[in-house]
């Protein structure tokens, strides 16, 4: 992904490698472009992974992540607590992703690999398994993938976000609450409700 800031300042990014988020945010506000490059490098993988899981489309996820960093850079002055840059950024990512879902018809060809993505959102999702499955196994797996994609897509926005951030991204409930703009108790309820709905919808496959 192309950084929102580039040029000679990129050579200085290493100078900010050990600085905390708050220091990088304050420096970015002063025009230290390398400091924001550090924030991009620090959160790019997680932001892309969250966008991918919300959108189920790699190209859309990369585009949303780019837009999120651009928006964040332009609105740094509105961030009241520089220490919370990560949560603030992921909230931007989530909002942009939901807007994209509402405005475009997304492909439903989800893969179970979406649940297993590590922080490297550019990993090859189509790498062959160590043992080639037979035709029956492939058909069964494809059917399950389709059902999971449909079930996830039918979840209300808040439930889908809470499930992805807490259960898949393994983020603390307090941080998820900050991103979603709700209470910790609300996060617990959304996750519980999402899990129950998935279990009900996929009961014939589990």
> What residues does each domain of the chain span?
1-111, 131-206
pTM of the complete model: 0.70
How large is the angle between the packed helices 85-103 and 21-29, nearest 10 degrees?
Answer: 70
pLDDT tens sequence for the chain (206 residues): 555 554 444 446 667 888 999 999 999 999 999 999 999 999 999 999 999 988 888 999 999 999 999 999 999 999 999 999 999 999 999 999 989 887 754 344 444 444 444 444 444 434 444 455 555 555 456 677 777 777 877 889 999 999 989 988 889 999 999 999 999 999 999 999 999 998 888 887 66
Rounded to whole angstroms, how far apart are CA atoms 80 and 68?
18
For domain 1-111, give the CATH number: 1.10.1740.10
Angle at 49 between CA 102 and CA 35, to 5 degrees: 110
131-206 folds as: Arc Repressor Mutant, subunit A (1.10.10)
CB proximity list for 47: less than 8 A, separation 6 or greater: 65, 68, 69, 89, 90, 93
CB proximity list for 201: less than 8 A, separation 6 or greater: 147, 150, 151, 154
């Amino acid at each position: 992904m192309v950084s929102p800031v580039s040029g000679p300042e990129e050579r200085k990014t290493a100078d900010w490698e050990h600085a905390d988020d708050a220091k990088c945010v304050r420096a970015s506000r002063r025009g230290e472009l390398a400091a924001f490059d550090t924030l991009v490098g620090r959160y790019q993988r997680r932001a892309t992974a969250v966008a991918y899981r919300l959108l189920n489309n790699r190209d859309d996820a990369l585009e949303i992540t780019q837009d999120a960093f651009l928006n964040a850079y332009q609105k740094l002055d509105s961030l009241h607590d520089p220490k919370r840059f990560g949560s603030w950024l992921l909230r931007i990512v989530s909002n942009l992703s939901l807007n994209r879902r509402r405005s475009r018809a997304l492909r439903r060809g989800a893969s179970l690999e979406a649940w297993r993505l590590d922080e490297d959102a550019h990993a090859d999702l189509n790498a062959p398994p160590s043992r080639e499955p037979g035709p029956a196994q492939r058909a069964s797996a494809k059917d399950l993938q389709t059902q999971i994609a449909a079930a996830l897509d039918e979840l209300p926005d808040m439930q889908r976000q809470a499930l992805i951030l807490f259960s898949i991204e393994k983020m603390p409930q307090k941080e998820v609450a900050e991103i979603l703009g709700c209470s910790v108790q609300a996060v617990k309820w959304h996750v519980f409700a999402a899990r129950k709905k998935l279990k009900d919808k996929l009961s014939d496959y589990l």
